[in-house]
Every structure is written in structure tokens, then in C-alpha cells.
Structure 1
Amino acid sequence: MEPRSGDPVTAAVETLGDRWSLLVLRDVVFEDRRYFRALLTGSTEGIASNILADRLVRLVDAGILTRGTAARGQRAQYSLSEAGIRTLPIICALGDWGLDWRPGSEELRARYQRIRDGGPAYVEELMAELRVRHLGAGPAP
């Protein structure tokens, strides 16, 4: 998909800026939900199956996720690409903003508080762990 302009923010918003894409990525990143059914039933926001299917296709087409091949009767597993892993700071920045400006449950806010407290080094550590889990990179340092 070609962005409407050459502006990088426009291109990023066109890829990630809909209501559901970042929430799907959040669940893949933090909950390790990598199968359609797990993403559907684990969504606290109640994503509809047709919307989830559409977002997964969009994220794969954009190179954010990869979809493993599945034989007949088997489930396809989704994995983050490097571009998908690099969305982690975006998700963390949104969580950080939400801590200051939006209400929420203490349980769900705790993750973003840990990330805030850990700072950039903690985010880098999380990205290294994602590379191991999703890309098969060597063990995280």
C-alpha cells in the first residue's frame, strides 16, 4: 500500500493508526498470542472475528507480522517481523501517555509502569526477547 504522501508519520498512521492494529500487536507482544483463536478470545476489548482477520491480513501485508504456513487442519502461527518488534517503543509510548492521562485498572496499568520504571534499556531488553521468540535470534543478552 502506497502512503498518501511521502511523510513518514502519514505512512505509519496509515499502517498502524486504525482502532485495532496496535491492540492486536500489543496482544502478540505482551501476551504471546500468536494464533487467531487466542487473539480472538483473549481480546479484552472484544474484537470481532472479521475485524481480527482483516487486521491480521493488513499487518502481514505491511510486513509487521509474518504468517506461518499451516497444513490442512492446523492453525497458522503469527510472528513479529523486525518491523513488528520495532513497534514496541510506540506501544510503550502510548502506554506511558495513558498512565498520565487516562484512567484504567491497576492490574493493566502495572505493565506500563514497569516499562516506564525500566526506561529505554528495559524496552531494548524486551525487544531482544521478542527477537529470540519470533525471529529465532540468539539468546537475549
Structure 2
Amino acid sequence: MRYEELVDVPCSITRPLVIFGDRWTLLILKFAFAGVRRFNAFQTALGISRSRLHDRLDRLIEHGILVKQKAAVGAHEEYRLTQKGHDIYPILMAIREWGDTYMAPDGPPVHYRHEGCTGEAHTKLDCDVCGSELTARDVLAAPGPGMLGEATASDQSVNQVAT
């Protein structure tokens, strides 16, 4: 299966990989959340080729995650996060927490603090009915309305991921 064909797989984990499936896209988003908005600033921060950066920014615009607009001051254009883009923040924070736990032997390189009280920011998975905190052992994947057809190989792979 080609990378671009993943968007047709009836799985809400697989489909976003078409957008986020490479390191550059997540790093661009990391810097966008840090306030980087100009093409040259992304290129300087990432050390990425102009053509690759252009491709990744275009993909993020195409999917409605970034919008390109004229800067309030000056003649340059900026890349700004949309609401859809802001909704990616918990994903990045979950990756950051995992990295702090398993890949930061000397402790977290950066603390992400609540601006209002200086508490540490954390991600968590919880049940929308009872509020219990959940782990992979507590979750059962079941076909939803977006699943195409009946009992397909995709159904089996969904259940295998959950166990």
C-alpha cells in the first residue's frame, strides 16, 4: 500500500499518518506552537531544505491545520495555526511526556507549566461517562459508524491494536 493510500483506510489512527507520518511535520508543528510563523524562521530552526519545508507547510495548509496569511506588520506572510491545528497540541504533549519518561535520563529538558499557577502540564486519557482514567488495558475498540462493510480484515486489526 502506498503512503498516500493510507487516507482511505477506515481507521482514525492510520488516516492522520498521511499528514503527521514524518518527523518534519511534527517538528514544524512544535515550532508553530512556540510562535514561529515565518518560512525562513522555520527553515533556520529546523535546518530543513526549502523544498521539503515548502511541501510540509503546503500539506498542513491543504489539511486546514495551518493558514497562510499576510503579516499584520511588514510585507511577509505568516503561517498560523487554525483551530484544527490547535487541537493537535494534546498529541504533541503526549509525545513529550513519553519522551520525558523514557528518553530524558537527566530529566525533562523543558518544563511545560500552567501560566496561571505554574503547575506542570500533563496529558491523560479518561472515560467521558464515569471520568475514570484509562490505559490501553481498559479500552475496547469496537467498529463505529465510519467502518466500511461488515467484519473485514480492518475490524480484526482494530481489535488486535487494542489488546
Query: Does the 8 Å contact 1:40/1:47 carry over to 2?
Result: yes
Structure 1 residue 75, shift from structure 2 partner: 1.8
**For 2:26 and 2:70, how far apart are their aligned partners in 1?**
23
Match of 2:28 among 24, 44, 47: 24
Contact 1:4 1:10 (8 Å CA) reproduced: no
- Give the equivalent residue in structure 2 for 1:111: 111
What does residue 36 of structure 1 align with? 39
Cα distance between partner residues in 2 of 1:119 and 1:103? 16
> 1:81-130: CA deviations, max 9, x gaps?
11100010000000000001114886x72135x4782335xxxxxxxxxx
Return 5+ residue gaps in structure 1 as ranges.
121-141
The structural deviation recorded for 1:9 is: 0.6
Amino acid at match of 2:80: S
Root-mean-square deviation (CA), in Å?
A: 2.6
**Structure 2 stretches of 5 or more lacking a match?**
124-163
Q: Deviations over 1:15-66 (max 9, x none)?
A: 1121210100000102x110101111122xx222211111000000011100
Q: Normalising by structure 1, report the TM-score.
A: 0.69
Aligned-partner Cα distance in 2 for 1:19–1:29: 16
- Equivalent runs, 1:1-141 vs 2, <5 Å: 3-30=7-34, 32-43=35-46, 46-69=47-70, 74-103=75-104, 109-112=109-112, 114=113, 117-119=120-122
Using the aligned pairs only, state the percent identity.
Answer: 32
Aligned residues: 113
Structure having the higher helix fraction is 1
Q: Aligned partners of 2:106, 2:31: CA distance in 1, in Å? A: 17
Superposed structure 1 runs of 4+ greater than 4 Å apart: none
Structure number with larger C-alpha Rg:
2
Distance across 2 between alignment mates of 1:10 and 1:61: 18
Structure scoring higher RCO (CA < 8 A, sep ≥ 6) equals 1
Report the CA distance shift for 1:48/1:105 in structure 2 as closer, same or farther (over 3 A).
farther
